[in-house]
Copies of this chain bind each other. A is one copy, B any other.
Amino acid sequence: MPKLGAEPIRRAALVKATIETVGDAGSLDVTVAQIARRAGMSSALAHHYFGSKEQIFLAAMRSILTLYGAEVRGALATARNPRERVRAVVIGSFAAGSFRGEAISAWLNFYVLAQSSDAARRLLGVYQSRLRSNLLCGLRPIIGACAETVAEGLGALIDGVYIRAALAGGMLDRQHACNMVLAHLEKELEG
């Protein structure tokens, strides 16, 4: 029962199913058939739209990164001064859409994928650069030269909290995680 204009719907369904499946399995070791079944179609169709398994993964990764970027930009929109801008980046990083069990698990797995896939590494590089420049842009007016160091620490801490959340399996509270990073930020801004 083919409907026209199915391509974007199918692609979106596959991306969603990929994130869910990877999140459930806690591993990239999932089959195209599993993903396709979850998305309500045959594996052949998944190949038809994406060409290969790696392309499916990359599309899923792009989707996660896009959502994340949107959430940071959203938080950033309400910031009225440098300090609020830095806080917004942190808060955006822990927004409900990104800080979700399956998304976190997928995130961790994509980190691993970035170790063996050039395309994935590039993608992750884009995210890290953007995070860094977002942080620096708010930090520099406040602390000038030290901004680089503080941004590095904040980035690492955010990553670390994410990882721990992945292992805790959704047990870790979002607000608490966010506050931890914000507290660290305050400490850094005091000195």
Contact = CB atoms under 8 A, between A and B. Distances in A.
Interface residues of A, number: 39
A111 B114 contact: no
A26 interface: yes
Nearest to A161: B156
A137 interface: no
Contacts of A114: 167
A130 to B, nearest CB: 15
Contact residues of A: prevailing secondary structure: helix
Interface in A25-70: 25-29
Contacts of A152: 180
A121 B159 contact: no
Copies in the complex: 2
A26 to B, nearest CB: 3
B26 A115 contact: yes
Contacts of A188: 187
B156 A180 contact: yes
A119 interface: no
A180 B163 contact: no
A19 interface: no
A82 interface: no
A141 interface: no
A159 B155 CA distance: 12
Interface string A122-165: 00100010000000000000000000010011011111110110
B159 A164 contact: yes
Given A115-B167, A152-B180, 15 more contacts: A27-B113, A29-B29, A105-B115, A111-B163, A112-B112, A128-B167, A153-B157, A153-B184, A156-B157, A156-B161, A156-B180, A157-B160, A160-B163, A187-B188, A187-B190
